[in-house]
Amino acid sequence: MFSGTHVATGDKYDVEFVRRVYSSQIVQSVKELVATIEKGPPTTAEFRLTYRTREGFTLLAKKLEIMEDLRVNHIH
């Protein structure tokens, strides 16, 4: 699981999803995430990487080879 610290105003998340995000193990970097996963047996554990900026998210997404789009809320 990947979770950022930014949540756009107006988004509604499933209560169970939010619980899972905040109960997941925090890792400080992609390097730490990979090392944690590789040192143990296969696991279903969930991990959380945080970011503070759009650029931070984009950098993490590239390193994790996941989709980089950022959803943009437009207020009219």
With the C-alpha atoms ordered 55, 57, 62, 66, is the resulting torsion angle positive or negative?
A: negative
The residues that bridge with 48 in the sheet, in sequence order, are: 26
The distance of Cα 25 from the centroid of its chain, to the nearest Å, equals 11
According to DSSP, residue 73 is labeled -
User: CB 53: neighbour CB atoms within 10 A?
Assistant: 11
Q: What percent of the chain has pLDDT over 90?
A: 42
pTM above 0.75, yes or no: no
* pLDDT average per 10 residues of sequence, the chain (76 residues): 46 81 94 90 89 92 87 56
What pLDDT is stored for residue 72 in this prediction? 62
Provide the residue ranges of all domains of the chain, joining segments of one domain with +: 15-64
Closest by CA to 2, choosing from 38, 51, 41, is 51
Measured CA angle at 34 (ends 62, 6), to 5 deg? 50
